[in-house]
Chain A
Amino acid sequence: MAKRENRQGFVVLGLALRDLWHERILSLNVILALAAIIAPLLIVLGLKEGLINHLRDNLIEDPVNREIRPQTTQDIPENWFEQVRSRDDVAFVVPGILRGASIVRAYGSDGEQSKIVDLLPSGNGDPLLVDNGTDFPAIGEVVISTPLAKGLGFCVNDTPCESALGVEIRLRVTRTSDGQPEFVEQMMQIAGVLGLRGDSLDRIYAPLQFVLDVESYKEGKSVLHRGWPGKQPQPYPSYDGVFILAEETISPIERSELTISTGFSTLKQISHAEFEADYGFSPPEDFQLLKLGVLKTAVQSGSIRQVANKLRGKRVLILPYVNPFEILLEDESRHIATGYTVSEQQAQNFGLPWVDWDGLDLNPAYQSFTKILLTRNSDPQSKISQLAAVQSLDQIVRFPIEIAGKAPGKLALVPINLAGMLRTGVDRRIEYSELGQALLLGRLGFRGYRIYAKTIDDVPAIAESLRADGFQTINKAQQIIGLQQFSAGLDRIFFLVALVGIIGGVAALVASLYAAVQRKQRDISVMRLIGLSPGEVSRFPIYQGLTTALMSTAVACGVLYAVGIVINRALADRLSGDPAVYLKPDLMLVIMLLVLTAAFCSSLFAAFKTTRIEPAEALRDE
């Protein structure tokens, strides 16, 4: 039965096609009418696809369009970069420093001609370099811009400039120290020459660390791992407050004075028991014990001096303190510690225990203050000298410390100088320099950044989120949003044009097929008479509708192709060879299916009409 069905179906298809051919002038009419509707649609769609793709490719291709830079110089903490880096839509981020803070003199291949050049930090995967076909600089390497490469004679006529690759370039960093010019020099290997599209200025892209080293040197600091001399900025001590031990009573007026422009904001009298609980000892009972504290911002030695000034003439001991902090030793023991230092004299005068470590000197030798008293007897197995770990911002600082004995109270004790430095590490990064054997003040975050979004479509969102965080940026979001809007606008126009076209096309096809069935009523009744069922003859207009639509689409494609050649030729220069009119094959397929679906729906009315035609009509002639 199914086989018979098939045969009947093929017979009807054959009849439908033969009838189209028999009435070929009429059929051609309908085909051309539909093609006249479909062709402009295809052209508009092709233009939209072609133009938008071209603009889009252009935007995508040049990494500069994915770049987001700060509009103004800002202090940016280091951990902010981690945050940005972890975003899904960010492909690359590198910190930046103050413009001009890393200017170096680069020497040419002949060793004589030189240029003053700005250094820019770069790194692994920098799209500005990679997407412009250049390697990014590894340690000891730099990428130089084409103008610089030519200006310094690393390459003369070759483009891309390949003769410069692997060649060493001498960089001189200069600074003025005490009125005297000083400089250091560093040889770097040229890993790549960035094309003109990437950078048209004299510029060197170097690993971030090198740029930071140059910046440090120019600020007068030493860069020990490069052997560049200079100062080593040690962390200044800061405190959460002071204890005041007073032999005589401090009046309420005097007390209130202590919180006026001293940096301290709280003052309270505390009990000796309270003091003893923390430290394990307390001053004699006849001493008044005050605690001057801060709410948030730590104070520095200046504040302590001011308090001392206000209490001048009184017999008081001012004992700086820091809030207890955690310290982790190499043997994985965890200790809560605070700082405590008194001179031998003070200890005698105020009845306090004296610990034999540094005083409050400004620059004590490292070993003299990196000591700790633990709350329990140290394990005899434990080394006297261990690495201690303390949190500083988002990082851990590890530094050697000597276990000096047992603390009397429930808190471990370190010299107040060390405690003060570590307290500074809460607000600013501190680090331990093994080369310098010193705790050093880390850099104060960064002054800029270069961010690259994964795709251009991500740029507006990233820029907007940065703006919400208070970072005004320079980016191509406007152009990108413009393109997106342009594309969306074209989509809408196309949709409207398509809608009108489809309505027109469907109406034309419905009318034409219906009229044909009306006209061929007798033929259809003959088909019924000679043995085709209503279901079978109903396929007649459906097949004709589908065939007509298929032919129309084919004609329209031909028109699209021809018009495409003309338009593409006309716009070839502007679009640098990209086609202005272009339809992807899979989109063509979708259109074909849509057209066939529309044709099928259009023929249903006529198909229904055929089922109403009686075979008896054939017998009743004229």
Chain B
Amino acid sequence: MSTIKVMKSFAQPLVDNSNANVDTIVSIKNLVKRRSAGNEVFELHVPKFSIQRGTFVAIVGESGCGKSTLLDMLGLVLKPTSANVFHFKGDAGEGLVDVMDIWRSANERELARLRREHIGYVLQTGGLLPFLTIKKNAQLVSRLKGLRHTDEKINRLAQQLGIAKKNNQYGNHDTNKQSQQDNGISIDIMEKKPAKVSGGQRQRAAILRALASQPDVIIADEPTAAVDKRRAVQIVSIFKQLALSENASVVMVTHDTELVGKTAENNSAIADVTYKFKLEYPAENVTKSICYAVGENNG
């Protein structure tokens, strides 16, 4: 296995993550996904893509540009048509995984294992199992991964996300750890089922579920599409904060450039790296979308 070239430019250490190692979790070179529907051919080209540990990667684009397709491939649920390099490296000393190899051998179990152990998911409307309470949803992923004694951690994260009361029955010990931010939400929704809570709460719960399995990467697909702008900013910013404090990277797809870029409230952008798409039409009925990194962040 060739060593993965660390792309320094994307690996800016963060202020609150100063001790994080600079290592690459996902590394992609010359990935192509071809889709055709009738006469129409759509090609997504990703010449270079990588996710560094402890970074917030934004994938921004209009609908139809292939951002969700890219996310599916990053989330290990969609097989790329081809790729020169598609490596995945989790922690726990597992070493490099050649994702293309697994796809070629159609090893569903191995893909499931990688998803279970390394990836967390936050979907547009949460993607929580409706028949489990928020708490059970969060516990489910940690149980699937085989983690033990995670209740306290889940409770702490939930408090930080503002969906569990502080010093409530979930806290076995009063740790006196204050969440950095008080979101002013004092409702405890941990014992509720997803259908019984508001959209914003559900997205916070989804973030909780994604964090609960202590993943390397969290894949988030328009996680704030269903909430208003003000709450979306709040949610994304606490999402980033918690993810980075848990040493997890975030890949978030959004069509909303403002959400991840610089805002009036935030003088620094949420995204450490932003990828965008450029559409080309090399032939009739052929759409080619090229994904590229935008180096405007963190400035």
Contacts and interface: CB of A to CB of B under 8 A. Distances in A.
Interface string B254-296: 0000000000000000000000000000000000000000000
Interface string B233-264: 00000000000000000000000000000000
B130 A531 contact: no
A615 B193 CA distance: 22
Interface in B115-145: 115-117, 121, 123-125, 127-132, 136, 140-141, 143-145
A532 B116 CA distance: 7
Contact of B121 (A19, A529, A536, A620): A529
A533 interface: yes
B14 interface: no
Nearest to A23: B131
Interface stretch (A3-11, A57-65, A444-452): A3-11
A523 B129 contact: yes
Interface string A1-35: 00010011001000100110111000000000000
A564 B41 CA distance: 69
Given A8-B144, A614-B77, A621-B125, A530 B131 contact: no
B75 A535 contact: no
A530 B193 contact: no
A622 B127 contact: no
B126 to A, nearest CB: 9
A218 interface: no
Given A18-B131, A622-B124, A530 B140 contact: yes
A186 B136 CA distance: 94
A527 interface: yes
A402 B62 CA distance: 136
B interface bracket (residues with beta carbon within 8 Å of A): 20 to 34
Interface in B159-217: 193, 213
A523 B129 CA distance: 6
A541 to B, nearest CB: 14
A4 B116 CA distance: 12
Nearest to B76: A615
Nearest to A19: B131
B219 to A, nearest CB: 8
A621 to B, nearest CB: 4
A236 B129 CA distance: 107
B251 to A, nearest CB: 12
Contact of A530 (B78, B116, B136): B116
B85 to A, nearest CB: 22
A258 B108 CA distance: 111
Rank and list the top 7 A-B pairs by shortest CB-CB distance, nearest first: A531-B116, A22-B131, A616-B77, A621-B124, A533-B112, A19-B131, A615-B77
Given A19-B131, A22-B130, A618-B123, 20 more contacts: A18-B136, A22-B131, A22-B193, A527-B129, A528-B77, A529-B77, A530-B121, A531-B113, A532-B144, A533-B108, A533-B113, A536-B112, A615-B115, A616-B77, A619-B71, A619-B72, A619-B75, A620-B68, A621-B127, A621-B221
Interface of B: 68, 71-72, 75, 77-78, 108-109, 112-113, 115-117, 121, 123-125, 127-132, 136, 140-141, 143-146, 193, 213, 219, 221
